[in-house]
């Protein structure tokens, strides 16, 4: 079971002190062998976080990367090689916030290829908007995002999919159980043997509903992951 903490644009060096509570919790947690925790902080915290988590089973990832895997004149950008060099093992690509900022499926595809080439594992985000949901074209949207995003990528062992409906992120509203089960099932049929996570307003209050959906392989957690107590509560309730 995956628990991926997407810190988004949050955190300074002192913020790293909060992860000690999570590390301490895991040392005494009996389900430790069956879960995988990945922290994805801003790029400024990847190296110091990697050092703090050196002797733990927690991995560190990045939140995005540039599509070019060579150095170049791209002011303000960071590519997959640079992320790998400072300790990242994973990278989130295709997050809805970046899609809304202009990332196309074609660009996402190039980023995934670059990340895999550099030896990073990819957390590939897909999801529909509220308008698309109302039009009942969720599956068509996901089909397109998967098809274009993974175009000409034959080996998908290093890719985890995260279904995050755009209309759910930050709203506190999550899909109905039967709808979410069906959507996750659809995604798994598209990509055989691929892990599929759910992301979108995951918190301690709704985790009991989410954990009852048996085909979910874990969670991509935003705001709640910035608070160690909430993050620990989500993990504990998942296994209770």
Q: Which residues are catalytic?
A: 95, 164
Tokens of 147: 């098809």
How many angstroms separate the CA atoms of 236 and 41, rounded? 22
Considering just the CA atoms, what is the radius of gyration of the chain in Å?
17
Whether 40 contacts 9, CB under 8 Å: no
Bridge partners, residue 197, by sequence: 162
What tokens appear for 215 in the block?
A: 């085909």
**Is 69 in contact with 117 (CB distance < 8 Å)?**
yes
In 3-state terms the chain splits into helix, strand, coil percentages (rounded to 5) of: 45, 15, 40
Cβ-Cβ contacts under 8 Å for 143 (sequence gap 6 or more): 190
């Amino acid at each position: 079971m995956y628990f991926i903490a997407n810190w988004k644009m949050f955190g300074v060096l002192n913020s790293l002190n909060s992860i000690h509570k999570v590390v301490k919790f895991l040392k005494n947690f009996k389900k430790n062998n069956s879960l995988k925790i990945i922290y994805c902080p801003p790029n400024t915290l990847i190296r110091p976080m990697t050092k703090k988590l050196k002797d733990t089973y927690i991995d560190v990832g990045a939140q995005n990367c540039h599509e070019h895997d060579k150095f170049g004149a791209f002011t303000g950008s960071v590519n997959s090689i640079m992320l790998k060099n400072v300790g990242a093992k994973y990278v989130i690509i295709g997050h809805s916030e970046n899609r809304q900022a202009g990332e196309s499926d074609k660009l996402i595809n190039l980023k995934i290829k670059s990340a895999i080439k550099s030896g990073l594992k990819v957390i590939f985000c897909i999801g529909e908007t509220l308008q698309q949901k109302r039009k009942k074209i969720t599956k068509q949207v996901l089909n397109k995002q998967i098809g274009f995003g993974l175009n000409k990528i034959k080996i998908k062992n290093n890719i985890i999919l995260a279904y995050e409906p755009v209309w759910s992120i930050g709203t506190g509203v999550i899909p109905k159980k039967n709808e979410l089960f069906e959507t996750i099932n659809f995604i798994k049929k598209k990509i055989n043997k691929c892990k599929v996570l759910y992301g979108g307003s995951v918190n301690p209050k709704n985790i009991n509903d989410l954990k009852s959906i048996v085909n979910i392989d874990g969670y991509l957690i935003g705001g709640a992951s910035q608070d160690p107590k909430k993050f620990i509560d989500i993990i504990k309730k998942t296994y209770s």
